[in-house]
């Protein structure tokens, strides 16, 4: 009987070892798969940012939201980009909402930071010229009370007194401000000049030096995002209207004529692309409106504590807009 029991125990132990080995192997495969997925996702995002993220002049708003924000003074993490709020005319950035603290989306503090204070860094990180200790002395705002602007509340240097908490006059005012959040604008239905559905807003392109909207990216066609096309629409050719509708000043054929593949972005900063879009939509070229000169002011930075100084970002050379996807993504 004892031999049978010993044999049973041996079988049981071997079975447990096999099960544990299987779990370990599965966990290892899961970790490897997760790493591969993260690597693949990073490569996909990098490819999708051709013409914007690789350029020192333009920023895709959707690529900025959710990114980590650190202090350029001490390198400590300040929070993440929670959202981007546009001005009432929707032509430029009013401020960037910085999220700090909280757990599972609860009790977070939000801070209305001027666009000009942000500097792009490396590894999908942005930097602000303020210490973590300094921002902890500032009063932010809560979800129910979004401020109209950041002009009276942001302190970009040390040695100043704490600012009062942001709070709109009413919740209605805050709700109006929230309609200007980029995260709320993305996904808006777009109708053409005939009132027919032409697509939806996919992204907003922002000039890094002045925070002005250069293009609204409209997507159309495809099924579940497969086979869709994008079009860069100048701000004067599209207008947001009540009830979450955006209206084009042209018909859908114009949108189609200027479209490109999501996997092959043109160089949106190219003067020739600017001229092409202006001619297509019957608008004034962006460079003529703004007196635009490419700037290196928003060069990528690293914290001072890491011994790095701001470096000038290399400007990409303009390319022929007809060569979609100058870099195969």
Domain that holds residue 270: 186-300
pLDDT of residue 183: 95
Q: Are residues 160 and 223 in the same domain?
A: no
Residues 149 and 219 in one domain: no
| Residue 34 lies inside a defined structural domain of this protein | no
Residue 30 domain-assigned (yes or no)? no
Query: Smallest Cα–Cα separation from 197: which of 220, 229, 213?
Result: 220
User: Does 208 share its domain with 172?
Assistant: no
Confidence of residue 315 (pLDDT cuts 50, 70, 90): very low
Please give the pLDDT value at position 192: 94
Instruction: Say yes or no: 117 and 210 in one domain.
Output: no
**Degrees, nearest 5: CA angle 251-257-260:** 120
Question: 54: pLDDT confidence band, cut at 50, 70 and 90?
Answer: very low
Share of the chain residues as helix, strand and coil, in percent rounded to the nearest 5 = 30, 25, 45
User: Are residues 173 and 142 part of one domain?
Assistant: yes
Whether the per-residue pLDDT at 25 is higher than 70: the answer is no
In a domain, 282, yes or no: yes
Q: For residue 288, tell me if it sits in a domain.
A: yes
Distance, CA of 283 to CA of 278 (rounded, Å): 5
CATH number at residue 91: 2.30.30.240
Q: Is residue 195 part of a domain?
A: yes
Predicted confidence at residue 155, as pLDDT, reads 47
Q: Are residues 134 and 222 in the same domain?
A: no
26: in domain: no
pLDDT tier at 216, thresholds 50, 70, 90: very high
- 3-state SS class at 275: helix
Round to whole Å and give the CA distance between 68 and 123: 9
Residue 132: predicted pLDDT: 86
Mean pLDDT of 186-211: 94
Considering only residues 60 and 290, tell me which one the structure prediction assigns the higher pLDDT.
60
Whether residues 228 and 152 fall in one domain? no
Provide the residue count of the chain.
Answer: 329
Is residue 67 domain-shared with residue 161, that is, in the same domain?
A: yes
Q: What's the number of domains the chain is made of?
A: 2
Same domain, 247 and 159: no
Q: In this structure, are 289 and 226 located in the same domain? A: yes
The reported pLDDT for the residue numbered 123 is 75
Separation of alpha carbons 275 and 279, rounded Å? 6
Same domain, 212 and 128: no
Q: Max alpha carbon distance in the chain (Å)?
A: 96
**6: in domain:** no
Decide: 247 and 216 in contact? Cβ < 8 Å.
no
| pLDDT value of position 58 | 93
Q: Are 248 and 237 in contact (CB under 8 A)?
A: yes
What is the average pLDDT value for the chain, to the nearest integer? 74
Contact partners, residue 273, CB within 8 Å, separation at least 6: 232, 266, 267, 318, 321
Residue 109 forms part of a structural domain = yes
pLDDT at 96 over 70: yes
DSSP state of 243: T
Of the three residues 178, 200, 227, the one that is the final residue of a domain is 178
Among residues 178, 213, 229, which one ends one of the domains?
178
Are residues 162 and 130 in contact, defined by beta-carbon separation less than 8 angstroms? no
231-241 tens-digit pLDDT:
999 999 999 88
pLDDT 10s digits, 116-170: 999 988 878 999 999 888 887 877 888 888 888 875 445 444 334 444 445 555 7
The pLDDT tens digits of the residues spanning 250-277 come to: 999 999 999 999 999 999 999 999 999 9
Q: Are residues 167 and 222 in the same domain?
A: no
Of 127, 157, 178, the last residue of a domain is 178
């Amino acid at each position: 009987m004892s031999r049978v029991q010993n044999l049973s125990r041996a079988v049981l132990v071997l079975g447990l070892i096999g099960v544990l080995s299987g779990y370990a192997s599965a966990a290892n495969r899961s970790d490897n798969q997760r790493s591969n997925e993260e690597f693949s996702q990073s490569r996909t995002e990098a490819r999708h940012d051709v013409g914007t993220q690789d350029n020192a002049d333009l920023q895709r708003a959707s690529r900025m939201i959710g990114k980590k924000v650190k202090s350029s003074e001490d390198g400590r993490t300040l929070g993440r980009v929670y959202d981007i709020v546009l001005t009432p005319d929707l032509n430029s950035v009013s401020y960037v909402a910085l999220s700090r603290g909280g757990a599972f989306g609860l009790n977070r503090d939000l801070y209305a930071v001027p666009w000009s204070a942000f500097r792009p860094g490396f590894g999908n990180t942005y930097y602000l010229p303020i210490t973590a200790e300094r921002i902890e002395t500032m009063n932010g705002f809560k979800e129910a009370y979004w401020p109209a602007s950041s002009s009276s509340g942001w302190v970009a240097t040390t040695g100043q007194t704490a600012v009062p908490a942001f709070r709109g006059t009413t919740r209605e005012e805050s709700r109006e401000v929230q309609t200007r959040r980029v995260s709320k604008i993305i996904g808006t239905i777009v109708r053409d000049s005939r009132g027919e559905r032409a697509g939806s807003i996919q992204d907003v392109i922002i000039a890094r030096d002045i925070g002005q909207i250069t293009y609204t990216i409209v997507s159309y066609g495809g099924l579940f995002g497969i086979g869709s096309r994008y079009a860069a629409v100048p701000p004067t050719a599209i207008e947001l209207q009540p009830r979450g509708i955006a209206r084009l000043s042209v018909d859908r054929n114009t949108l189609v004529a200027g479209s490109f593949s999501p996997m092959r972005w043109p160089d949106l900063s190219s003067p020739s692309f600017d001229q092409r879009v202006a001619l297509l939509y019957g608008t004034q070229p962006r460079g003529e409106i703004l007196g635009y000169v490419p700037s290196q002011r928003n060069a990528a930075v690293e914290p001072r504590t890491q011994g790095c100084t701001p470096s000038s970002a290399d400007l990409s050379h303009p390319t022929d807009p007809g060569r979609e996807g100058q870099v195969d993504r």
